[in-house]
Amino acid sequence: MCGIVGYTGSNPALIVLLEGLERLEYRGYDSAGVALIENGKLHVDKKVGKIRELVKSLWGKDLKATAGIGHTRWATHGEVCELNAHPHTDGEGNFAVVHNGIIENYRELREELERTGIDYRSKTDTEAIVHLIALNYRGDLLEAVINTLKRLRGAYAFAVITTKEPNRIIAVRYGSPLVVGIGKGENFLASDIPALLPFTRDVIPLKDGEVVDLRPDGVFIYDFGGNMLTKEVMHVPWDIISAEKGGFKHFMLKEIFEQPRTLGDTIRGYISRDLNLPFSLKDFRRILIVACGTSYHAGLLGKYWIEKYVRAPVEVAYASEVRYSDMPVGEGDLVLAISQSGETADTRFSSLALKEKGATLLSVVNVMGSALDRESDYTLYTHAGPEIGVAATKTFTAQLAVLYALAVSEAEEKYARMEELLKVPHLVEEVLSRSEVMRGIALRHANNRDFLYLGRYLSYPVALEGALKLKEISYIHAEGYPAGEMKHGPIALIDEKMPTVAIVPKDRVYEKMLSNIEEVLARRGKVIGVGFEGDENLKGLCGDFIGVPEVEEDLTPFLTIIPLQLFAYYIADYLGLDVDQPRNLAKTVTVE
């Protein structure tokens, strides 16, 4: 949902901005741009396409500016073109703004500004911000920004520079993420922490309603009323290596192969420290899980485990649906919000609305210091490290580990359960050692245009997640479905051109799944089976088969999802697609 960077110091700003933008490219990549204060004048460069297009256009330009801002765009208002790309400038060319999020009253502002004779150039909601700041400027950029904020409605983050105060950047957070990086004689700004890691590990994640005044020799943070705030600097434990590709062709592949380690880190974290929650899940009348996308699929699995071990009623809702529903939620309810980024607007805003109604808010997040982390009553972290590939992989299995640890935390057999969970990282490693088998299967099916993914009970969310992975990165239509529901409709789709991926571990619904596979075969459908190694019965039914080590029922999703992640990856790579940055998507969705 757009990435913002900023730098002010004594080094060439452009180098910092481009490096930061490359790390933020996963947030949006339809156009990119920078604005620098070069010899007292604003220098703006923007290009449609990825950051490399911008880099090419800057090639050979000897820009020495030591302050600037940059942007990578995921279009919301206005088509993808250079005019709509950021930074946006005022008519005089004295101010430049980069923005992430949405200004909801942009139409009204535009009409008003045009009535005063301002010549609008773009179709964006952003342009209003820069014109308002220029109009409000009376010699102090901070004051101009604070006065402008009174006119803006929506959820946003933006940064502004001006030729009139060349070393100063003012930036604002209100609903979209923004982090300040602290250096020596230089300071930084970015939409997320990994973009700052090449330069500093000392950061201040801004909260909604905060404005930062960034100068080379200091960082000053204010509320929207202009009152100065005291903030703590956080030292980030991640290092730059964990945000690099490490010899893999894509981040996604690296992240898939990291799962034995990330699962181990997450599980051991909870074994050594316990969950430290000052309540029992049994104290709540109801547990409501809210999440989006992959995190929602993790939530569906969490429901099964919590119901089994806590015996409490659990509902799972899409965050975007729950926010505007009349669901009766209040005191006595626990809202369990799941989000890798901790910045997803749907998840944050729905959770906050439910918290306001009196519910307790517990969240599972990967990014420490993210908005959801700070806004929750309690947080459980997944220790998966930065995930750069837009398609979530290692954070999904880390979420499963946290949810499982949470579900069994009050069970009598807690220690036995956690011991079983501890075996998972090694078993995942075994599955990964068969990646070449999965590659072969993927290549045989890479030219199909439709897939059905079937599973029952714990394998149903796995089917949904497998289908989502394929859709996201290969642009192939894939439907995840509960296998028992197939006969109520989707069975009509089955023919020799629509392969079925069936997830069939030996669990309580194994026999039922075999019958569902027979139903597919009877309609000339091809079946790719994922089951336990050595399951000759299943293997005999499936045209293609991949085995995972035998594991107890509860833990099957940790293993069966791995071949499906690989399947999607190998197909997308074979098709020559941009695996890490699939079209139309963004890693962190900070708009509703």
* Residue of 133, 139, 124 whose CA lies nearest to 159: 133
- In the complex, minimum distance from the CB of residue 245 to ligand AGP, in angstroms, rounded to a whole number: 18
- Find how far residue 120's CA is from the centre of its chain: 33
Between 84 and 395, name the residue whose CB sits nearer to ligand AGP: 395
Between 32 and 468, name the residue whose CB sits nearer to ligand AGP: 468
Instruction: For residue 498, give both structure tokens.
Output: 């629509």
- In the complex, minimum distance from the CB of residue 464 to ligand AGP, in angstroms, rounded to a whole number: 11
User: Among the options 46, 50, 394, 587, which is catalytic?
Assistant: 587
478 and 575 in contact (C-beta within 8 Å)?
A: no
* Residue of 314, 305, 337, 338 whose CA lies nearest to 406: 305
Q: Tell me the C-alpha distance between 540 and 537, whole Å.
A: 5
Between 88 and 303, name the residue whose CB sits nearer to ligand AGP: 303
Give contact residues for ligand AGP (rule: CB under 6 A). Answer: 292-295, 339-341, 344, 347, 390-392, 472, 588-589
Helix (H, G, I), strand (E, B) or coil at 565: helix
Instruction: For residue 219, give both structure tokens.
Output: 């960082």
- In the complex, minimum distance from the CB of residue 469 to ligand AGP, in angstroms, rounded to a whole number: 7
DSSP string spanning 514-536?
Answer: HHHHHHHHTTT--EEEEEETT-H
408 and 425 in contact (C-beta within 8 Å)?
A: no
Q: Tell me the C-alpha distance between 461 and 481, whole Å.
A: 9
Could you tell me whether strands 218-223 and 210-215 are parallel, antiparallel, or unpaired per DSSP bridges? antiparallel
2 in catalytic set:
yes
- In the complex, minimum distance from the CB of residue 551 to ligand AGP, in angstroms, rounded to a whole number: 24
Between 85 and 291, name the residue whose CB sits nearer to ligand AGP: 291
- In the complex, minimum distance from the CB of residue 396 to ligand AGP, in angstroms, rounded to a whole number: 8
Between 287 and 392, name the residue whose CB sits nearer to ligand AGP: 392
User: Among the options 2, 46, 394, 526, which is catalytic?
Assistant: 2
Between 213 and 373, name the residue whose CB sits nearer to ligand AGP: 373
Q: Which residue's beta carbon is nearest to the bound ligand AGP?
A: 293
Between 290 and 441, name the residue whose CB sits nearer to ligand AGP: 290
- In the complex, minimum distance from the CB of residue 586 to ligand AGP, in angstroms, rounded to a whole number: 8
- In the complex, minimum distance from the CB of residue 581 to ligand AGP, in angstroms, rounded to a whole number: 11
Q: Tell me the C-alpha distance between 86 and 71, whole Å.
A: 6
570 and 587 in contact (C-beta within 8 Å)?
A: no
Question: What is each CA distance from 199 to 47, 72, 241, 540, in whole angstroms?
Answer: 25, 19, 13, 55
Q: Tell me the C-alpha distance between 429 and 423, whole Å.
A: 10
Q: Tell me the C-alpha distance between 93 and 485, whole Å.
A: 60
- Find how far residue 536's CA is from the centre of its chain: 39
Between 219 and 562, name the residue whose CB sits nearer to ligand AGP: 562
- DSSP E strands in 17-153: the ranges are 31-38, 41-48, 67-73, 88-89, 95-103
- In the complex, minimum distance from the CB of residue 466 to ligand AGP, in angstroms, rounded to a whole number: 11
Catalytic residues: 2, 587
